[in-house]
Structure 1
Amino acid sequence: MTTVVVLFNLKAGADQAAYQNWAKETDIPTAGGLPSVDVFEVLKIEGLLMSEEKPPYQYIEILKINDMEQFGKDVSSDIMQKVASEFQAFADNPLFVMTSKL
């Protein structure tokens, strides 16, 4: 199983409440409902452990993918292309990291 971690900040001027509402109403149910996705979570970063410094990112997405080939097909669908476009309107240069469990 592959876990994709997405680290990102909102674009300057993006409305945080609008993003969070969109994530709850559109992104999480749509991406989380893909056949290739076992788990999809969006996490808001609250701070750095034992530090007063500002975290480098505001949000993290975690996707647990059961089949990367199917995931490629799933994300190329019209609905996911629309969701991805909407995400890009909110997210400022998101970093997509593929991981595997040790």
Structure 2
Amino acid sequence: MQTLIVLFNLKDGVDAAAYERWAHETDLPVASALASVDSFEVLRTLAVMGSDQAPPYQYIERLRINDMALLGQEAGGAAMQKVAAEFRAFADNPLFIITESI
């Protein structure tokens, strides 16, 4: 099984409360319903442990993917295309990283 990690900050001027409301009402339910997704969570970063520095990213998404090829097919559907467009309006240059357990 693979895990998709998405690291991102909000675009300048985006209200964090508006993004988080959208994440709870739209992104989480739609993406979690995909057959290729076993679990999905959105995390708000708080701190860098042992440091006064701000975290380099405001948010992290973690999606456990049971079938990456199926995810690609499902991502092309109308519902996910709409969610992806809305996500792009919030997120500033998100970084998508595919991982696997070792």
Q: Which residue of 1 aligns with 2:64?
A: 64
Q: Deviations over 1:23-63 (max 9, x none)?
A: 00000010011000001000000111111111100000001
Report matched runs for 1:34-53 at 5 Å. 34-53=34-53
User: How high is the TM-score relative to the length of structure 1?
Assistant: 0.98
Structure 1: which 4+ aligned runs deviate by more than 3 Å?
A: none
Superposed displacement of residue 21, structure 1: 0.0
Residue 98 of structure 2 aligns to which amino acid in structure 1? Answer: M
Give the unaligned 5+ runs of structure 2: none
Cα offset, 1:90, TM superposition: 0.1
Stretches of structure 1 that go unaligned for 5 or more consecutive residues are none
2:27 is aligned to 27
Q: Distance in 2 between matches of 1:55 and 1:43?
A: 12
RMSD: 0.5
Match of 1:101 in 2: 101
Indicate the larger mover: 48-57 or 86-95. Answer: 48-57
